[in-house]
């Protein structure tokens, strides 16, 4: 209007609820906590395999189930639950509702609440830097490690996502990464090893990586990822990274956390049930005292 852009979804929430922090997924950020999770509609990618397409791939005119929440109201809802860790911006791409997310994270800053962003990382440098001081933890979806995949499957580019990951890794915010493994699309062993080498070099070997099993959704009818493929990629990843996890598959061993020094199991996970079994209050291994988690 008048040469200015106005968001149509400010203070409009499409989905909200209390989730385990592990569902984001974040495994090294206050494990076992629950967090108020909110999302609106829209996305800046067009992934043909989107799991949340009912809210991510619609316009405001096509969605008629909004709940209206001011930033003050949502922060107060989060504060009213003494067991709630904070607010997570998730379900669809939070960057689409940048103004709403930014104002809410600013409002939460001077409270006990933590702000979490679950994102595709497709954001310009300036708005990301403006947001960083207000976000405590990120999970970035690194969908593949080829420009061809991003162009064909998401209608976007890989390099901006890599740049965002670099910026977050250099900040004080906590970072974890997720890779949804799709058969025949991003499961090439050589390409995958190139990706985990890059992660180790750019963000550090202690960056948690979640390998998530794909199931058919939206426009994709490729069969679900074979579990053996995930196991093979897991073995490649652990050569380069200290904390690799499998998601969307029942595997307690590969979803639990082990000390990277003495290999004692320090966090037990079964589904979204989490028990801290081998960490002290400072996040150190109780067996060898190696530091594992900053946020506990």
Q: How far apart are CA 280 and CA 270, in angstroms?
A: 21
Nearest to 24 by CA among 139, 141, 175, 104: 139
Q: Is 285 annotated as a binding residue?
A: no
Place of tokens 């400010």: 10
Q: Is 50 annotated as a binding residue?
A: yes
Q: How far apart are CA 203 and CA 28, in angstroms?
A: 15
Q: Is 47 annotated as a binding residue?
A: yes
Q: How far apart are CA 103 and CA 217, in angstroms?
A: 33
The beta-strand segments (E) located in the chain are 12-13, 15-20, 34-39, 67-68, 84-89, 114-119, 137-141, 174-181, 209-213, 244-247, 257-258, 265-270, 273-276
Tell me the binding residues for [4Fe-4S] cluster.
Answer: 43, 47, 50
Tell me the binding residues.
Answer: 43, 47, 50
């Amino acid at each position: 209007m008048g040469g200015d852009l106005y968001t149509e979804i400010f203070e409009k929430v499409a989905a909200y609820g209390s989730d385990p922090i592990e569902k984001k997924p974040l495994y090294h950020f206050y494990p076992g906590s629950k967090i108020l999770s909110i999302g609106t509609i829209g996305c800046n990618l067009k992934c043909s395999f989107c799991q949340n397409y009912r809210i991510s791939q619609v316009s405001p005119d096509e969605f008629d189930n909004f709940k209206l929440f001011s930033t003050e109201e949502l922060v107060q809802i989060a504060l009213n639950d003494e067991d709630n860790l904070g607010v997570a911006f998730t379900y669809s791409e939070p960057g689409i509702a940048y103004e709403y997310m930014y104002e809410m994270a600013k409002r939460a800053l001077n409270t006990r609440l933590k702000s979490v962003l679950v994102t595709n990382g497709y954001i310009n440098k300036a708005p990301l830097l403006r947001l960083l001081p207000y976000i405590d933890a990120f999970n970035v979806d690194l969908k593949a490690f080829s420009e061809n995949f991003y162009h064909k499957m998401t209608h976007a580019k890989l390099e901006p996502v890599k740049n965002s990951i670099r910026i977050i890794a250099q900040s004080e915010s906590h970072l974890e990464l997720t890779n949804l493994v799709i058969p025949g699309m991003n499961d090439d062993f050589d390409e995958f090893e190139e990706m985990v080498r890059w992660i180790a070099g750019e963000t550090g070997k202690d960056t948690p990586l979640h390998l998530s099993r794909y199931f058919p959704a939206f426009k994709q009818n490729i069969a679900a990822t074979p579990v053996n493929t995930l196991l093979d990629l897991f073995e490649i990843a652990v050569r380069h990274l200290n904390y690799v996890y499998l998601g969307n598959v029942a595997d307690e061993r590969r979803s639990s956390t082990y000390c990277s020094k003495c290999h004692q199991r320090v966090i037990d996970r079964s589904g979204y049930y989490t028990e801290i079994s081998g960490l002290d209050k400072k996040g150190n291994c109780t067996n060898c005292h190696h530091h594992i988690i900053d946020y506990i």
